[in-house]
Amino acid sequence: MTVTTTPAQPANSFRIAINLTHAEPRMDNILLNALREQNENETLKAMSRTLLKDLFAEKKIVIKGQRAKSSSALATGTTYVDILGY
């Protein structure tokens, strides 16, 4: 039996869970769409592609405590993405 645990959310961050039925080669477009569809943070909902790119460059987007790159692939299943400072 596999037990799945949710990683700890960093302080002062916004977490979004991305649920995929198939793997995706890049996370930037998937993350931007997920942020635009959520209703918990209006600032992130209105985020531009340029601002998202800046957050990646500033290392403010993390998965399991590790810096994510815009070109990072996403696996099938649930991925918890934390955006630091939101």
Domain carrying residue 71: 28-84
Indicate whether 54 belongs to any domain.
Answer: yes
**CATH of residue 78:** 3.10.290
* Cα gap 28→44, rounded to integer Å: 14
Indicate whether 15 belongs to any domain.
Answer: no
**What are the tokens at 40?**
């918990």
pTM of the shown model = 0.90
Indicate whether 23 belongs to any domain.
Answer: no
Indicate whether 56 belongs to any domain.
Answer: yes
**What confidence category does residue 5 fall into, taking pLDDT thresholds of 50, 70 and 90?**
confident
Sign of the CA dihedral 27, 24, 19, 1? negative
How high is the pLDDT of residue 2?
Answer: 59
Indicate whether 4 belongs to any domain.
Answer: no
How high is the pLDDT of residue 53?
Answer: 96
Count of Cβ atoms closer than 10 Å to residue 74 Cβ:
20
User: How many domains does the chain fold into?
Assistant: 1
Sign of the CA dihedral 49, 56, 60, 25? positive
